[in-house]
Amino acid sequence: MKSVWQGVITDFSEPGALWQFGAMAVVLALAWAIERFALGNKLPHGRAWEIGRGGVRRVIFPLMSGLIMLAAIPLFRMLMPVHLLLVFIPLFMSMAGIRMVFYVLRHSFSGSSWMVIFERWFALLVWGVVALHIVGLLPDVIAALESVDFHIGKQSLTLWQVLQGIATVLITVFAALWLGGVVDARLQAAHELDRSLREVFARLSKAILVVVAVLISLPMVGIDLTTLSVFGGALGVGLGFGLQKIASNYVSGFILLLERSIRIGNMIAVGQDRGEVTRITTRFTVLRNFSGVEALVPNEVLIGSVVLNESYTDRRVRRLVTVQVAYDSDVDAAMNIMIEAAQSQARVLSDPPVTAQLIEFADSGIKLEVGFWIGDPEEGTGAVRSEINLAIWRAFKVAGIHIPFPQREIRILGAENG
């Protein structure tokens, strides 16, 4: 490769370099035309075809550029020096490989914004290695990295081993996460399992696969796993102090999923927060209230606090509507009207039956209460309360039953003497 690089430097000092740039432009134009033609043909509908089309879109241009240049090299050799064109081939072929790998990774880790940033840095790294290989400096760089050694415990490591270890760990962890995604998809399709159990098994499988990937990859590059005991001790100290809350929330999340005391879809209240459980993560649980606002409650709070679960063993909940009537009203008729108003609502259950009670003889009137049961607390109670109140109001007006309001009588003493 040193001769190739020396030839490139020599070519730049000769007029033939312009012809090589012209040949590159022709190859790039041909590759672009092939790309337009391939993408212009309509593929059948379906997710698999769309994924394939996206993969072709990302790799066809660099791949065709490299292949066309590789096929045209014998012809170009007869017309001009080709040292610059020989550099062109590995650069574009490596670009095609990088794009294809990361296209697969993006579909394996959908929704991961970090993948775009990582792809850019990885592409720069690969191109840097290719450039060092082309100029013939890669063996010298590796030798320099191997000359930098240090000791961890009783083992001696070189900087080259550490870099190899990082690269191997990244590759095996990516493979483990991809395999974990496959397991997750299979578990989500197993509808006979409880949703919480599916979440537990999916997370456990990913965690186990990542640990196994690290345990397999490090010995592959000659790093003794016993050297990690030093880092393990430091990690334990960090968890004991700075990461205590995170570790507690993580363990609490697994406890919630295993016990199934709180499930997705439950209506719960903890402290000042009340809403439907829409998601349980390893660190927090998402509660969505009826106004659409989502509260992120740490899992540790759910484990250590009193939680009101409205749908733990029975989804039916009892709600109340309170009304006052005047003292001269027919109380029995008013209570019957309140019962009929509640029974007329579709969301109100017939079993247990609707009941009405006289609660209190208040200052302004007699306080009555109607109790009813609903089976869908996640839909809220504001709408059904409003409909019952409106039905009571209309029926009271027809029956001549008055709803009192506070009245005050003011007497001015000494007004007669004035």
Per-residue model confidence as pLDDT tens digits over 162-172: 777 777 777 78
The confidence score (pLDDT) of residue 289 equals: 84
**Beta strands at 355-361 and 366-374: parallel, antiparallel or unpaired:** antiparallel
Output the six-digit token pair for 50.
């769309």
- Could you give the count of Cα atoms lying within 13 Å of 127 in the half-sphere of its Cβ? 13
Alpha carbon distance 194, 260 (integer Å): 9
99-121 burial: b if 16+ Cβ within 10 Å, else e: bbebbebbebeeeeeeeeeebee
Q: Angle of helix 47-77 relative to helix 83-108, nearest 10 degrees?
A: 170
Residue pointed to by tokens 């759910």: 302
Which of 25-34, 44-53, 316-325 shows the lowest mean pLDDT across its residues? 44-53
- pLDDT bracket for residue 416 (50, 70, 90): low
Residue pointed to by tokens 């008729």: 333
Percent of the chain exceeding pLDDT 90 equals 11
Residue 19 has pLDDT above 50, yes or no: yes
CB atoms within 10 A of CB 213: 22
The confidence score (pLDDT) of residue 94 equals: 76
Alpha carbon distance 248, 239 (integer Å): 10
pLDDT in tens, 315-365: 788 889 999 999 988 999 999 999 999 999 989 998 889 999 999 898 888
Q: What is the pLDDT of the chain when averaged over all its residues?
A: 76
Residue pointed to by tokens 């809350």: 245
237-275 burial: b if 16+ Cβ within 10 Å, else e: eeeeeeeeeeebbbebbbebbeeebbbbebbbebeebeb
Give me the domains of the chain, ranges plus CATH numbers. Answer: 2-136 (no CATH), 157-242 (no CATH), 249-309 (2.30.30.60), 317-399 (3.30.70.100)
Percent of the chain exceeding pLDDT 70 equals 73
